[in-house]
């Protein structure tokens, strides 16, 4: 059964955003904190490299690109783990088949 969507308000860098979500309030708080901390982190990194301030749209785009890169990295790592799991399962299955054959030969 799908959770019912409810209206929620998130605050990102002092601005409020109203949306509808099925997520629980704890998860939404985690998302809100993650976004705010990521934006603060990028802004502080940018600020140390140049004396020129960063505009809000540019900051948001940099954060979006950063999160997208991390997401793709995690996706690629997950694909590697899945492939390795498939290979291990195939190896174990082959070993089990060999053991079953040996037992059947000894039983006959």
- The whole-number pLDDT of residue 48 equals 54
Q: Which range marks the domain in which residue 24 is found? A: 1-54
Last residue of a domain, which of 18, 35, 54?
54
CATH number of the domain that residue 45 is part of:
3.30.160
Residues 67 and 60: their CA atoms lie apart, in Å, by: 11
CA distance 23 to 66: 23
Domain identity same for 79 and 108:
yes
Residues 6+ apart with CB under 8 A from 5: 20, 21, 22
Stretch among 29-33, 43-47, 63-67, 80-84 having the lowest mean pLDDT: 43-47
Across the chain, how many H-helices and E-strands are there?
A: 2, 2
Question: Whole-model pTM above 0.95?
Answer: no
pLDDT at 50 over 80: no
Residue 52 pLDDT exceeds 70: no
Measured in whole angstroms, the distance separating CA 97 from the mean position of its chain's CA atoms is 37
Residues 40 and 71 in one domain: no
């Amino acid at each position: 059964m799908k959770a019912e969507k409810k209206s929620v308000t998130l605050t990102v860098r002092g601005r409020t955003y109203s949306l509808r979500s099925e997520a629980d309030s704890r998860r939404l708080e985690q998302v809100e904190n993650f976004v705010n901390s990521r934006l603060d982190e990028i802004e502080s990194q940018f600020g140390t490299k140049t004396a020129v301030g960063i505009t809000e749209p540019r900051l948001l785009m940099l954060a979006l690109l950063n999160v997208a890169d991390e997401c793709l990295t995690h996706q690629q790592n997950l694909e590697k783990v899945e492939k390795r799991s498939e290979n291990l399962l195939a190896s174990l299955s082959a070993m089990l088949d060999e053991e079953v054959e040996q037992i059947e030969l000894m039983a006959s």
